[in-house]
């Protein structure tokens, strides 16, 4: 077993065990609301993970009664337009960082995820939710439409379901979130950590280099016209095939043995 790596933050907990990083939002009294400092810490943590070749997969979770309640409204009363732009810039940087690191990030959602918290789930590459979890973009109820959460969530959900969530502010269940594409699976609450860890371990068994190449290519090709996407993917796959891990993997398959991946 690898030696666990632990780093201390103010708003989050961080640990690496056997090549799987656990990032836990740890502001339960505030339902893990995303203050500016909280978002800076998450961004710094994910950036460090992205440079750590000993980490293959990341699990993002939250302590307390909520996964994440979205932006910290205590910071948003009576501020200037420039201040609000800064908050949303910091948030966008955090979301982009999660998708830009090579390691897949799995959201482990035990309870409600609202507004930017729902955006966070949508931004993660994969999501496993307890059957008790709920998801909402409820900004309309406080006069602040969930415009930035909408960007990530609408790239996961069907259009009409997304608009229903935005226009009513009402939460959807984990089962509805699964049906409409926001999450990958729903599991019993008591099984959530084990099921999420099992998914992470299956990913970690593959070549970290190849996973990183594939994650980056997936997001880049999404918005391309099909012809351009195929041209791009052809180049990515051709260069991937030259890599030592691809050569090792193909040889191992033909020789009926387990591949030995590089780090």
- The CATH number of the domain where 149 resides is what? 3.90.226.10
Q: Does 181 lie in the same domain as 113?
A: yes
Q: Does 106 lie in the same domain as 27?
A: yes
Q: Does 167 lie in the same domain as 105?
A: yes
Q: Does 191 lie in the same domain as 88?
A: yes
Q: What does the pLDDT look like over 33-68, one tens digit per residue?
A: 999 999 999 999 999 999 999 999 999 999 999 999
18 vs 8 pLDDT, higher one: 18
Confidence of residue 8 (pLDDT cuts 50, 70, 90): confident
- Tell me if 33 sits within 8 A of 76, measured CB to CB: no
Residue 248 lies in a domain: yes
What's residue 31's pLDDT?
A: 98
Q: What does the pLDDT look like over 63-83, one tens digit per residue?
A: 999 999 999 999 999 999 999
What's residue 187's pLDDT?
A: 98
Q: Does 86 lie in the same domain as 116?
A: yes
- Tell me which residue of 252, 248, 251 sits closest to 263, measured CA to CA: 248
215 lies in which domain range?
A: 208-254
66-85 per-residue burial string, b: 16 or more CB within 10 A, e: under 16: bbbbbbbeeeeeeeeeeeee
186 backbone φψ class: left, alpha, beta (φ>0; ψ -120 to 50):
beta
Q: What does the pLDDT look like over 188-214, one tens digit per residue?
A: 999 999 999 999 999 999 999 999 999
Q: Does 16 lie in the same domain as 34?
A: yes
- Tell me which residue of 93, 100, 118, 95 sits closest to 32, measured CA to CA: 118
Return the residue matching tokens 């890599």: 243
Strands 112-114 and 134-136, by their bridges, are: parallel
Residue 260 lies in a domain: no
Distance of CA 10 to the CA centre of its chain: 21
Q: Does position 7 have pLDDT exceeding 90, yes or no?
A: no
Residue 162 lies in a domain: yes
Q: Going along the chain, which residue ranges are E strands?
A: 5-8, 12-17, 20-25, 57-62, 66-68, 105-109, 112-114, 126-130, 134-136, 172-173, 185-187
What's residue 209's pLDDT?
A: 96
Q: Does position 2 have pLDDT exceeding 50, yes or no?
A: no
2 backbone φψ class: left, alpha, beta (φ>0; ψ -120 to 50):
beta
What's residue 263's pLDDT?
A: 78
Q: Does 47 lie in the same domain as 32?
A: yes
Structurally, the chain folds into a number of domains equal to 2
Q: Does 246 lie in the same domain as 169?
A: no
Q: What does the pLDDT look like over 136-173, one tens digit per residue?
A: 999 999 999 999 999 999 999 999 999 999 999 999 99
Looking at 189, 204, 219, which one is the last position of a domain? 204
What's residue 233's pLDDT?
A: 97
What's residue 248's pLDDT?
A: 94
261 token code pair = 């991946």
Q: Does position 1 have pLDDT exceeding 80, yes or no?
A: no
């Amino acid at each position: 077993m690898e030696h666990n790596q632990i780093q201390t933050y103010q708003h989050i907990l961080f640990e690496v065990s056997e090549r799987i990083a656990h990032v836990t939002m740890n502001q339960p009294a505030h339902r893990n609301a995303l203050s500016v400092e909280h978002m800076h810490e998450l961004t710094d943590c994910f950036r460090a993970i992205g440079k750590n070749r000993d980490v293959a997969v990341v699990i993002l979770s939250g302590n307390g009664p909520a996964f994440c309640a979205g932006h910290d409204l205590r910071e948003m009363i009576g501020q200037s337009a420039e201040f609000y732009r800064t908050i949303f810039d910091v948030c966008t940087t955090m979301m982009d960082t999660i998708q830009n690191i090579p390691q897949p990030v799995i959201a482990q959602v035990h309870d409600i995820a609202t507004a930017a918290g729902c955006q966070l789930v949508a931004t993660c590459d994969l999501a496993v939710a307890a059957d008790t979890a709920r998801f909402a973009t409820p900004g309309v109820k406080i006069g602040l439409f969930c415009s930035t959460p909408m960007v990530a969530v609408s790239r996961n959900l069907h259009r009409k379901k997304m608009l229903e969530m935005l226009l009513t502010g009402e939460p959807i269940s984990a089962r509805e979130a699964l049906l409409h594409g926001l999450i990958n699976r729903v599991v019993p609450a008591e099984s959530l950590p084990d099921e999420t860890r099992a998914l992470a371990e299956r990913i970690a068994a593959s070549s970290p280099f190849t996973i990183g190449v594939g994650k980056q290519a997936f997001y880049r090709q999404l918005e391309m016209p099909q012809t351009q996407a195929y041209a791009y993917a052809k180049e990515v796959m051709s260069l991937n095939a030259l890599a030592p891990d691809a050569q090792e993997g193909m040889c191992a398959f033909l020789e009926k043995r387990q591949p030995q991946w590089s780090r």
